[in-house]
Structures are given as structure tokens and as C-alpha cells.
Structure 1
Amino acid sequence: MESFGLLNWTILIVYLIGNLAMGSLLSTKVNSAEDYYLGNKSIPWWAIGLSVMATYVSAMSFLGGPAWSYSNGLGVMMIQINYPLVVFLVITLFLPFFYNSGVASIYEYQEQRFGKKARGVMSIIFMMTQTLSSAAVLYATALVLSFITGVDVITAILVITLIALIYTLMGGITAVIWTDVLQAVILLVGAGIIFYALLDRMPESLVSTLGELKAQGKMDIMNWSFDTHVEATVWSGVIAMVLYHVTVYGANQMVVQRALAAKNIGDAKKSFLFMGFAAFFIYFLFLFMGVLFYSYYGGREFENSNTIVLQFAADYGLPGLLGIVAAAVVAASMSSLDSALNSLATVTTLDFYEKYFMKDASSAHYLKASRWFTVGWAVLIIVPAILFAQSEGSVLQLLTKVGSYFVGAKLSMYALGFFSRHTSERGLLIGVAVGFVAVWYAATQTEIAWPWFCAIGAVVNIPVAIVVSLLLDGRQTELSPYTIQGQKIMFRDQNLAAKDQGWYLIPGKVDRISWLLVVFFLATLAFLYLLTVLI
């Protein structure tokens, strides 16, 4: 690759310095452990929404999205079609429980509903999965720096970790959110420029290009097959991946912790609604670019498909473009890494250190401990990141596969907590163990596609947990106040307000605007269908 050049270096360095400066500026707002976890609850909902989007929608999209569709076609869009339904369920069922409780660690719900062991298991699952997914994010960032500068990938991993660590340590969740806003803006600007440049350089018109791509099978979006061996179908996207993403967004400390920093329940829900409407357009943009790249490069094979966007930016030759794109990809990945470091430190401090090792210490002590845990997690994430560097497939696909092994257990633990009256802690944990075995069997002994692993884990886990609970502990005479029905009864008996500024506080109650998510979901399906048949 040609020399990165002074202008590109200037753009990238200014961006990195800007993140450090923002972390330093916001460090003055962190005076306690609570500030480190939740800020001062003054962050506007749109900033939280952009932060949520930057963390997950953009984490691997700039690199892995085009790489995925370049290889498999636009049909992989079905894996990402479900976000409106996901957000509908999350803001209706999950957010009210977490926000009303006033907790910083969302896994405290498991202790309130079942017991300490359930909380510990959920926290450990989160830490395992988040470490692996953050390592994939870190690898993607290092890949960019290595590709454009020639610096060794391992060196790049160490450098980018240090930068994200420094501003996260200084500013806590407030710095994480506001740097994510900056990163989201840079990401969208970079994506827009690349998309425009790609359309500008296409040798034929867009209509002709799409016709050729359809003839090559790259525009076959709506696969209605019931074959569970096929990765991307309508059913895997609408059923299996709804269950997967509900757990990723509703039972994930890294995402929900932002909503807990909102001013009120309405702002918390609006931040998620932002993502519910925006995710489709962003994922479609990156995946659509992938099939256009396939046409532009004539389907040529790349040594590492995750570098396609960077290669195009270098080939295009616009001064400063490679610097903007490099900053955009670094922004996309750092927005996930900083969030992971903060949330991992939060869970470690609240769910283990404070609970079992150092009770009743001062807030200043827990703040210091949280910062040390942040450093520790940064070191731990580096190890699998180096291992991911050996992968040549799409990092977006890789990241999603890693999570699919664990989300069934998380989904089941919350579904049973919300809706099951008779599930006990012992039955729950046995169900989780059996569910893990079922997912392992499906993954290693069958040809079932990974999107269905979450559903398999839940389908096995839930009935086993209920049956074992009844056998070991019998029928429960009292309804837990931490079930959906229990919450409704509690609000009624204690004469509590059902709404706050027009937004439901009661879990299970649907806000009127949430129905627009369902309408929007149906509209996106119709759009993809028409795109397929009218080309």
C-alpha cells in the first residue's frame, strides 16, 4: 500500500488526541464510583442513543459488514433486519425493571428474582462473552492501523488499547458516551464519503450493476427456506436473531448501563428507540456497499476481506480520504472497546469486589478499585485479540458467532425471571447447564447454522429449569414482585403512578410510540422484498 501521507496522519492523530482531550475534560465530573458508572444523570437521550448505536451497530460494521456481504451477498441483511422488534421488546420488558430499581449493575435483578448464585452466573457469562467480543473489536482496530501504516498488528493492538484505556479511566461512563458521539459522527461521515466515492467510480450505472449482481445471486435477500442449516433466511432473521439480539441489547450491561445514565425512564426509552429506527439504514448501507465492492472489484479474492474498504479508499486517491476512513474505523471499534472496559469494571466492582471482598467501603475506594479493574480488563482483552488476528474471515460474522454460544442462557434466565412463577434458583442453574450442553452439541455435532444456537439454548433451558424447579422446590405459593405480573400487582396495590411524563414505568406495558417500531419493521421487509423482485 502507498505511503499513508502527512495529511492522513494529521487527520488520524487529531482524532485520537480529541478523544484523549475529551476524556481529560470530562474527568472533572467523576468524583465518586456512582459518577464512574452512571454519570450524573444529565446526559441527553440523543447522545445516549448515538452511543448505543456507535457501540454495537458500528462496532464491526465498517470492516466486517462489507466483507460479509462481499462473500455471501446481500442476503445476510436478514440477520440484521430485526432491530425494530428487538427494541420493542427491550423497552417494554427490560428497561423498566432496570431503571426503576436504581441499580448500576443490571445483573442485580437476578439476585432479587432468584438469588446470589444466579447473579454470579449471569455476571460471569457477561464477562466471558464481552471479553471475547471486545477482543474482536480490538483486533479490527489494530488491523486498520497495521494495514495503513505497516506497523505490526500486535503493536497496533497495544497502542489502541492504551488510548481507549486512558480516556475511559479519566471520564468514566460520561467520557464513554460523549466520545461515542464523536465517534458516531466520524463513522457516518466516513461511510457517506466512501459510499459516494464508490457510486462515482462504478463503471456502469447503479441499475445495470444491480441487475448483474442479481444474475450472480448477490441480491437474493429474501430466502424463505425453513432449512436450519442455512445461515441467513427470513426465519433465522425474524425468529432466531430476534431472540439473540433481545439478549444482546436487553440483558447486556454494556448497553443498558447507558440507559441507566439517562435523566428519566422516557429518555432511557428514547435512546433505544433511536437505535430501533436507525439500525436498519446503517446495516443496509454497509452490507449494500459490500455487494457493490464485489461488482467493482470483479469478485476478486482478497488476502483478508476485512481490508476491502481500506483498499478502496487507497485506490480512490482523494487526498485525506484514507485518513478519514481510518479514523472512522478506529472510531467504530474504540466506541465498543471503551464501553466494554467501563462496564466490565462496573460489574466486577459491584457484583464481586464490593459484594464479597470489600463491603461498606467508601465511594472513593470503589472508584479507585473500578479504575484498577478497568486496567486489568484492558490487559485481559489483549490476549484473545492477538488470537483473533489469525482470522481472515469477516470480523462482524466472527463477533456474532462468538456471542451466539452464550446468549441462550442469558435469554432463558431473564425470560424465566419475567414470566415464570415457579422457577427456583436451583432449577434455573441446572437448566442453564443443560442448555449449554445442548448448544455445544448443536454447534459441534450438527450442521445447524449458528443463528439458531440462542433459540436452541432457550428451548432446552426453559422447560428443564421449570421441571427441575417443581421437582426440587415444588410450586411457589407467592408471586415474586420481580415478575411482570408481580410488578403490575405491586403498582396496583401500592397505588404507584403507572407513567412518568407519559412513559410507562410498569414492565409489560407498551408505550404508544413503540407500535411504530412494528410498522417500521414491516415496511423494511416490504422494501427488501421489492428491491429483490423489481431489479
Structure 2
Amino acid sequence: MRSLPTLDLAVIAVYLLAMLLVGFYFSRRNKSTEQFTKASGSIPGWALGISIYATFLSSNTFLGVPGKSFGTNWNAFVFSISMPLAAWAAAKYFVPFYRHTGEVSAYTHLEHRFGAWARTYAVICFLLTQLARMGSIFFGIALSLQALTGYSMKFIILAMGICIIIYTVLGGIEAVIWTEVVQGIIKTFGALLILYIIITNMPGGVSKIVDIGHQDNKFSLGSYLPDLKHSTFWVVLLYGFFINLNNFGMDQNYVQRYHTASSSQQAVKSIWLCVVLYVPVSLLFCVIGSSLYAYYQVHPELTEILRHQVAVERLSPGASATEIARVAAALKPEDYGDKVMPNFMVTKIPAGLVGLIVSAILSAAMSTISSGMNASATVFSEDIYKRYFKPDITDKQTMNLLHMATIVAGVAGIIAGIAMIGVKSVLDIWWQLSGIFAGGMLGLFLLGIISKQTRNHEAIIAITVGILVIIWMTLSPLLPENYGWIRNTLHQNMVIVIGTLTIFLTGIIVTRLRQKSIAASAIPLNK
């Protein structure tokens, strides 16, 4: 660890100050809930597209994808390959649907379709997903900044959280979107800068990186065998399609943005712009991970130092040098992948440029967390408070409620981030938690949209069965060995796939059985 030079600290301070000033600037316009939640439908499609791209390009991508590529291969990029198909479904079906309803919450229509329970269930799933997302992002940014500054991860999470809460509360969705436009550009530039520095410091340059990558199979997208028990190409492809369908189709972060566009055409344009930007940039982060792997292969002394640091962190204070050496020797690249980029920044990136890259990482965290806070506050206001406590709330009272709910969401995210300190992989924990919380929500949504004949009680049966399956898939691996026969052996990324299909197909089957029963009872009996 080291203290950042004054120049780097100045760059970071200027960036944070600029974000706060943006919040203050837009606070002058946030005089109504329509402005706070929808920006009065004034955002152009190109800005909205960069905003959605910046939300996707969180610190989970900035730090997690290089960490996974360093430790394994390019299997994580398969997630991005699934995006175009999910984007097509969103552009063709979801955007017209939401723009037609005009409802700022993505979940209001579920009450019209199945009843209040369905709306509340989806909101709970969404809020839990946001909690996991914000927590994992706070953790990821703290992991990086700790290596650079020496400050504790808890302090970093608290300081970051306070800054994000202030500008999100002040500026509303319009401030979030326009800061994300700037942040998306900063993040992309930061990634290119990191790759350039790695290559220029690499003996042998690009050709050496390619040689080592081919030799150690670092460019593979994963196994193509029909295996759903490990993170194969097919597992990540299925996970990516379902989670991206959930993102574009019913995640409040994205649905709320559709309403900020000046027209449906601009909203559709924003989705495709996001895909065009995110897919190649996510590949760029895989390239960064493989390049870092090659760099550390030709500098084994840096690898040993990094292993030693990780071993010290894992052991209790006062561990002997022998014990530290034993644990360090047993570590594999996937055990310390998330720490490689911060370590490289500490040792090899010159003063001044570190501040720019840290600002890029900060922007990666701030864009996603701020949008999550705003979206969480919106659904709490629309789907919980107005629905169950005070339907006739005034616009001024709603604004106060939105501000308070934003603060509560931010504090909850801070607590979740602190709770995640010590996890092995930030990308793994985010993928696992999002799959668990989003599966039921997506299955219910698809059932309501596709199966027009499904009624309330059939949806309840479907959700009940789906929740039981998701709980079994999530918790059964923790069972003792003597209960191994009832364990779920599928990869955890399959939870959202199986959970969604279980809810949807159960609803379809129960609906068909009801229709057959009605048809049979309508046939007159022969005397």
C-alpha cells in the first residue's frame, strides 16, 4: 500500500467535486416528482444510451471481469454475447409496452394483471437485487482504493456512499443520467489507458501477451460440452440471456429510463446504443485481464508479493511466516484475480495517471449505485407507500418521501458493501445473488405478458413452486454429505434459468389444466 501523490488526490477531488456540483445544478429543476423520476421526458436517445451503457459498465465489470479473465479465461464475455437477443426482445415488446402504460414503476401492471401481491412480490425481489448490486459495487471499489490509499475498506465505502447519496438526492434521475454520460466516457478512456500501460510495460509487447495467452488457454470462452454443472459457455450464455432479459425488460433502473426519453423511438435507440458500446468494451476488459496475467507471468516476483499479501489477509493476525508461506503457495490465480488490477496500479502506473484511472473506477461505481438508489426510491414511493399507506399524498410530500427513500437505499447499500468484505470474487457474488433474486420476478412477468389466460390463483401456484425450487437450488449445496442425494448439482448461475422457467411453465400447465376442466364440465352427460 502507498499514499497517493498530491496530483492524483487532486484529480480525484476535482472529479468528486464535479459530481456534487452536477447534483446541485439539477437540484434547481427538481421541483416535482415528474422531474425527479422521469426528467419530464426530455432526455435524447444518444444520452440515454450512454447512460444505460454506464450502468451496465459498473465496477463489477471494471474490476470483476479482468479478475475473472486473469484467474480463468474469457468465459465472462459470453454474458455480453447474449445481450443482442435480449435487447431485441426489449426493443420490440417491452419499450412499447411501458411507454403505452405511462406508469413510472415497472411493477404497477402486475397488480392489474394478478393482484396487489404480485406487484409487492416483484418490488421485494427488485429491492433485494439492488441491495446485492450496490453492495457488490461498494465492495469492489473499496477493494481497489484500499490498495492505493491504505485506508480501510469500511472508511472508503462510507465516504463514497455519502458523496453518492448527496448528488443523487439533489439531482434526481436527470442528474444521474447526465453524470452517467460523462462517467461512461471516463470509464472507457480509463480502460484503454490501463491496457496501453500494460502493453508498454510488457517485455515483448502484444506478441508476448498472445503467446502466453494461447499457451495457458486464456482466450477460451469456456467448455462447449453440454455440462450445466460448471461455468461452461452454455451456462453463462443462458444466465446472460435471462439476466439481460430481466435488466431490459423489468429492472426499474432501465424501465424508468424508457420514460425519460422524448419518444419510444429514442428509447429503442438507447437500448441498441448500449449494446453497441458495451459488447466491445466488455471484451476490452477481458483483454486487460489476460494481459495482466501475461505481465505477472513474466514478473513472478510480483506474483509472489501479491500471493503473500492475500495470504496475510486470509490468516489471523500474528500468523507465522511458515503458515503464511504455506497458504501463499497454495493460492491459484482465481484466488487473487480481483486484487491484480489494484496491485498493478500501485506498482506500475505513474503519478497523475493513477488519479485518472481511480476516477474512472469511481465513476464505474457511482453511476450504477446512484441509478440504483433513484430506482429503489421510486418503486418504494409508487409501489409500497402510495399503495398501502397514503394514496392521496401530495406532490411536495412525495418529493420528501423520494429524498428520504434515496438516503435509506444508499445506507442499505453501504451496509451490504461492508458485509461483503472478504468474499472471493466480486463478480461471482453479484452473479449469484442477482440470479437468486431476479428469477422469480422475471418468471412472473413473462407469465403475465405471454399467457393472457393465466389468472391470479394460477400465478400464486406458479410463484410458490418457483420459490421452492429457487430455495432448493440455492441452499441444498449446504446440506451435509449424507443428504447429498437431494443436493442441487447445477451451477449457481442456473438458478435464474431454472427458477424463471419453473414459474412460467408451471403457470402455463396449471392454466391448461383449468381450461380442460372447464371444457370437460361443459360437455353434457349422456342420459
The TM-score with structure 2 as length reference comes to: 0.86
Offset, 1:230: 1.9
Question: How many angstroms apart in 2 are the aligned matches of 1:52 and 1:320?
Answer: 29
Gaps of 5+ in 2: 311-335, 478-486, 520-527
Offset, 1:313: 2.2
Return closer, same or farther for 1:249/1:59 CA change in 2, 3 Å cut-off.
farther
Q: Map of 1:176-255 to 2, 5 A cutoff?
A: 176-221=176-221, 223-233=223-233, 235-255=234-254
Offset, 1:473: 8.8
Question: How many angstroms apart in 1 are the aligned matches of 2:367 and 2:232?
Answer: 27
Match of residue 395 from structure 1: 426
Q: Which secondary structure does the structure 1 equivalent of 2:229 belong to?
A: coil
The counterpart of 1:380, out of the listed 408, 412, 433, is 412
Match of residue 42 from structure 2: 42
Q: Is the 8 A contact 1:310 1:326 kept in 2?
A: no
Offset, 1:472: 6.8
Matched AA of 1:417: G
Q: Map of 1:456-467 to 2, 5 A cutoff?
A: 456-467=498-509
Match of residue 63 from structure 1: 63
Larger gyration radius, structure 1 or structure 2: 2
Q: Is the 8 A contact 1:345 1:370 kept in 2?
A: yes
1:294 aligns with 2:293: yes
Question: How many angstroms apart in 2 are the aligned matches of 1:43 and 1:80?
Answer: 26
Return closer, same or farther for 1:192/1:475 CA change in 2, 3 Å cut-off.
farther
After superposition, the C-alpha distances for 1:358-394 in whole angstroms (9 at most, x for unaligned) are: 1122111111111111111122222221111121x23
Matched AA of 1:388: M
Q: Is the 8 A contact 1:248 1:407 kept in 2?
A: no
Question: How many angstroms apart in 1 are the aligned matches of 2:454 and 2:174?
Answer: 38
1:338 aligns with 2:380: no
Match of residue 76 from structure 2: 76
After superposition, the C-alpha distances for 1:181-235 in whole angstroms (9 at most, x for unaligned) are: 12112111111111111111111242342122222121222531101012131x2
Q: Map of 1:326-475 to 2, 5 A cutoff?
A: 326-391=358-423, 393-443=424-474, 444=477, 445-469=487-511
Q: Is the 8 A contact 1:244 1:407 kept in 2?
A: yes
After superposition, the C-alpha distances for 1:449-504 in whole angstroms (9 at most, x for unaligned) are: 12222221122212222334456798899xxxxxxxxxxxxxxxxxxxxxxxxxxx
Q: Is the 8 A contact 2:444 2:459 kept in 1?
A: yes
Greater Cα offset, 354-363 or 308-317: 308-317
Please identify which structure carries the higher helix content.
Answer: 2
Return closer, same or farther for 1:68/1:103 CA change in 2, 3 Å cut-off.
same
Q: Is the 8 A contact 1:422 1:476 kept in 2?
A: no
Question: How many angstroms apart in 1 are the aligned matches of 2:410 and 2:52?
Answer: 21
Question: How many angstroms apart in 1 are the aligned matches of 2:117 and 2:449?
Answer: 18
The TM-score with structure 1 as length reference comes to: 0.85
Question: How many angstroms apart in 2 are the aligned matches of 1:250 and 1:407?
Answer: 12
Q: Give the fraction of aligned pairs with identical amino acids, expressed as a percent.
A: 27
Q: Is the 8 A contact 2:186 2:363 kept in 1?
A: yes
Offset, 1:350: 0.4
Gaps of 5+ in 1: 478-535
Greater Cα offset, 441-450 or 195-204: 441-450
Q: Which secondary structure does the structure 1 equivalent of 2:28 belong to?
A: helix
Match of residue 122 from structure 2: 122
Question: How many angstroms apart in 2 are the aligned matches of 1:476 and 1:49?
Answer: 48
1:257 aligns with 2:256: yes
Question: How many angstroms apart in 1 are the aligned matches of 2:75 and 2:509?
Answer: 39
Question: How many angstroms apart in 2 are the aligned matches of 1:317 and 1:370?
Answer: 41
Q: Map of 1:85-124 to 2, 5 A cutoff?
A: 85-124=85-124
Match of residue 315 from structure 2: none
Q: Map of 1:123-202 to 2, 5 A cutoff?
A: 123-202=123-202
Matched AA of 1:460: T
Q: Map of 1:437-516 to 2, 5 A cutoff?
A: 437-443=468-474, 444=477, 445-469=487-511
Match of residue 54 from structure 1: 54
Matched AA of 2:105: S
Match of residue 2 from structure 2: 2
After superposition, the C-alpha distances for 1:107-162 in whole angstroms (9 at most, x for unaligned) are: 01212222211111111110111112111111222233322221111111111111
